[in-house]
Amino acid sequence: MNGGVNGGVDDRLNDMEAEALRLDATDPLPALRGDFHIPPAPGGPYAESAYFAGNSLGLQPRSAARWVNEELDDWARLAVEGHTQGRRPWVDYHEQAREPLARLVGGLPHEVVAMNSLTVNLHLMMASFYRPAGERTRIVIEDTAFPSDSYAVRSQAVHHGLDPERTVVRLRPRPGEEHLRTGDVLGYLEREGRHVALLMLGGVNYLTGQLMDMPAITEAGRAAGAAVGWDLAHAAGNVPLRLHDWDVDFAAWCSYKYLNSGPGAVAGCFVHERHVRDPAVPKLAGWWGTDPATRFRMAPEFSPPATADAWQLSNPPILALAPVLASLELFDRAGMDALRARSERLTAYLAARLSRVAGLEVVTPADPAARGCQLSVRVPDAAAVAGRLAAAHGVVADTREPDVVRLAPVPLYSTFHDCHRAGTALRAVLDHRPDG
């Protein structure tokens, strides 16, 4: 017989752990955990972390070092000749990312390019697609946009001699609600669309984890006569995307979160083919954006190709782009649709475990179709809670001040057992008693 109340609680914990392990053993797409370096647990009974901070910085693929070291070796052996004689010549190195990036975001190969960082790319896109004229001057974003996006659009308004307080419109959820309703976005565009020059929202909200209805919003924005761009920092590598089919004007994303390409990794950009083939679209020009067939003629006139490469400014940073290619290999191996299905299973399991924690408010939509893999929970003193999760239980999460802990079960490397650990740890941290 068990030893009373505590024995009963322990038995239930053991049963839940066994169930998590069974799910890991039988999942249709097992985690590619062995392809990543899993950090050691900061504390607790397990050797490895249960890592839920991939929405801030993804884990390092084990193959990344090989990709980087091969370029270091070519640099050592070949020096400048590595541009043309390396095993992956540097002169067109970025082109290796073209097709896997297109598969990842649902674009055509000539519509995507790996370049720069996210906010630089957003500014380059706005230089082309934010063209205020007459009464059509507004830039529409969500009120909970990532701060960098807020700064960028305000500075664009100022750059055009406009008052950002009047030019930038921040769409807010209804009073008492956490999420921006699609119907409210569409309603604003129907009422005020004649004033909107640019609609630029986050595909997945960084704070709440809400997945926006990108096809419906894009269609409404374009019908209103606005350019439509998406910040996909929390969407690329998290949810399937069909940018070309959705008729998106442009999109940009970073590569260090769900794309697991390292801190400050080279970002990506999408420009719809109707724009890349239109020489009248204005753009800021740089050497690497000119046609590679004539680039080394060193002519003073800019002659861009009919691809997204035309928005490049400088030659790509090879050592920073190599880990992007390493990561894209893993996405091609798993497939984005299969990863999304696994993500929905993992996130649903984690949501069920969190529902057992009294007093915990999950601010991410409950509908699986309206969220990515991130679950955001509101707790008092989020930083202290995250610190105890790591120190006492080896569960690594991140926070957003003052009261949100974000947990992202990334399908490439997170497991059901990780989710079990997170639920158990949050229960223990928040009410100081074992899970039951």
| Residues of each annotated binding site | 118-119, 146-149, 231, 234, 256, 287, 315
- Amino acid making up residue 59: L
Assigned token pair, 249:
């004007």
Q: How far apart are CA 51 and CA 234, in angstroms?
A: 17
**Residues in contact with 42: Cβ distance below 8 Å, sequence separation at least 6, in sequence order:** 49, 390, 391, 394, 396
Q: How far apart are CA 350 and CA 422, in angstroms?
A: 8
Region for 373 from its dihedrals, namely left if φ exceeds 0, alpha if ψ lies in -120 to 50, beta otherwise:
alpha
Binding-site residues for pyridoxal 5'-phosphate, in ranges, read 118-119, 146-149, 231, 234, 256, 287, 315
Taken in order 392, 395, 400, 405, the sign of the CA dihedral is negative
- Helical ranges in 232-381 per DSSP H: 243-246, 273-276, 318-334, 336-354
What stretches of 337-420 adopt beta strand conformation (E)? 361-362, 375-378, 395-396, 398-400, 404-407
Helices 416-431/336-354 angle, 10° precision: 30
- DSSP-derived secondary structure for 27-86: -SS---GGGBPPPBPSSSS-SB-EE-BTTTSPPPBTTHHHHHHHHHHHHHHHGGGHHHHS
Helices 416-431/382-393 angle, 10° precision: 120
> What is the CA 327 to chain-centroid distance, rounded?
14
**What SS3 state is found at 193?**
helix
Assigned token pair, 125:
């896109």
Strand order in the sheet with 375-378: 361-362, 375-378, 404-407, 398-400
